[in-house]
Chains A and B, each alone.
Chain A
């Protein structure tokens, strides 16, 4: 297992290099002269030239890339054009942790609700409970985040006044964004768990478990669920990874200063070092989450050979 983790970590290196290359090239693929954009509209030719020199844009491309990677590994992601602050500091002071909290809580909520709903659905196939859950799940899947967020604000903040409308700080602030983020995931996980459970319940080893005198409850939670979890873990991993980088809409609706909003604000103000830095952090997080998913597979089913 330890060897596997080590090997798997090594495997992430090429992925990381690919990510850094893509992020690095972004700078060169955008239309216009980055130096000109960074120096500002009113800068004269000498200032632009100076900026180009500062950014090392006159060096050969591969040297620039190597410098970028070496700096990134040391935690230097450049300086923000907008705030003039260090990009890494800006990301990791607050915003990163806010987004991680949102994504973790959102995923936890979707796993909790999705798993329970999926198991109820599967064990009571074609009953009223099953059909109701699947209809609610369909709604959950179909509702766009921005609409759900606004509706939640309308009912629970504006009309009922139970929770704050927007912002971040207390636990009350967390509720609506987490529900908004978790709903879609819960719906997918519920449907996934249901179909996966139904497939597993018909397996021979489930019959063996019943033939041993194992109770319904144990058959479901010990024998069936564990086998049914593999596709569910995949979805949870993707969901979590997506939320880490993509809570853009939700963060905007609830005016939360997380990574998603940072990306949007930076794009709007042509703050390229910040966009690069944020995307790099999100991509690395995504790779790490997938790494964790792979290890979880192995923990669930020892048969999954990781060679």
Chain B
């Protein structure tokens, strides 16, 4: 496998993932594009149900088929499309080249196996180490993720550890084989605030040490600001804005991104009333709006927004936005709208 010219470790192109339920097809991910440069971090941001977790599960092909299925697009990892890989090839990639940390440390570890066994398992599979060497490696990993008295902890079962400790064990499992890409699916959501900071710092530190690329899935903009180089904002299965982290925070363009940023409380502002919120709620996946999916909640929406879905356009500063406001059609719209009055 060789890297492409731009040194992108992962390129997701027009990814479409659907769930086939009794009530019909749910397009959970509907044409998503983004890429991750080697050693860099991308943040995937969005509300619950925006398709961010499904995107990550699609990359590792961990969807429960046939209910959930990638129906189109490409996932290029180090120049090769993961969607063309056989089951066995995927097994070699999972945990070895691409690893994942899940949201729920309390339930993501097997209760009947010791922490050491669970780390050693992945080392044994991918690095073909014998039992004893794999155990040594497991203890080493526990030490690396900052767990005190790792020899003792390795022999313990997950229920004997706190949530933060368990998430460290998850990180140890994920990084045991030194993967090129780490996908962290809301790794701190289930943890206490103080522990959250520790876990984020740990991920960041290990990422720098090991040179791992990181895909950070979160709904927490604070985490994005702290960790990411680039950000993809998702809404209803589509990327609505894709830019580097600085642009997202200083010059957001999509009304949804602006709404998200405005709803974050800031310590340098006084709030006399309530925090600003995005009105309405995410539309049902069975009944998505015909035009822009954010149109029913958008304060700027006009006729065209309800009629036609905008494409992802690149703005002058390189920021990619999926919004009619940033297109030529918008001005004409205004005229039409004015003319109608």
Contact = CB atoms under 8 A, between A and B. Distances in A.
A203 B107 contact: yes
Nearest to A305: B159
Contact of B100 (A211, A302, A303): A211
Interface centre among A204, A222, A223, A301 (most CB of B within 10 A): A204
A209 B62 CA distance: 11
B96 interface: yes
Q: Is the interface of A mostly helix, strand, loop or mixed?
A: helix
Contacts of A301: 111-112
Contacts of A222: 113
A204 B104 contact: yes
Greatest chain B CB density within 10 A among A212, A215, A227, A300 is at A212
Contacts of A204: 102, 104, 107-108
Contact of B102 (A207, A215, A223, A227): A207
B110 A223 contact: yes
A162 interface: no
A214 interface: yes
| A300, A301, A302, A303 pick with most chain B CB within 10 angstroms | A302
Contacts, number: 68
B95 interface: yes
Interface string B86-124: 000001111110011010100111111100000001100
Contacts of A209: 110
A211 B57 CA distance: 9
Contacts of A205: 107-111
B112 A302 contact: yes
B304 interface: no
A212 B107 contact: no
Nearest to A203: B107
B94 A211 contact: yes
A85 B86 CA distance: 72
A50 B106 CA distance: 71
B94 A213 contact: yes
B45 interface: no
Nearest to A210: B62
Nearest to A202: B64
Contacts of B100: 211
Given A204-B104, A303-B159, A213 B111 contact: no
A211 B112 contact: no
Contacts of A210: 62, 94
Contacts of B95: 211-214
Given A210-B62, A212-B95, A226 B102 contact: no
Interface in B257-315: none
A195 B113 CA distance: 22
Contacts of B10: none
Interface in A126-181: none
B111 A303 contact: yes
A281 to B, nearest CB: 35
B110 A213 contact: no
A213 B173 contact: no
Given A211-B95, A211-B100, A212-B173, A226 B112 contact: yes
B125 A214 contact: yes
A204 B106 CA distance: 9
Contact of A213 (B107, B113, B125): B125
21 contacts: A204-B102, A204-B107, A207-B62, A207-B102, A210-B62, A211-B95, A211-B99, A211-B102, A212-B121, A212-B122, A212-B125, A213-B92, A213-B93, A213-B96, A213-B122, A213-B125, A214-B95, A214-B121, A214-B125, A301-B112, A302-B112
State the 7 A-B residue pairs at the shortest beta-carbon distance, nearest first.
Answer: A213-B95, A212-B95, A213-B94, A204-B107, A212-B122, A205-B110, A204-B108
Given A212-B121, A212-B122, A213-B126, 17 more contacts: A204-B104, A205-B110, A208-B102, A208-B173, A209-B110, A211-B60, A211-B94, A211-B99, A212-B94, A213-B96, A213-B122, A222-B113, A223-B110, A226-B112, A300-B112, A303-B111, A303-B157
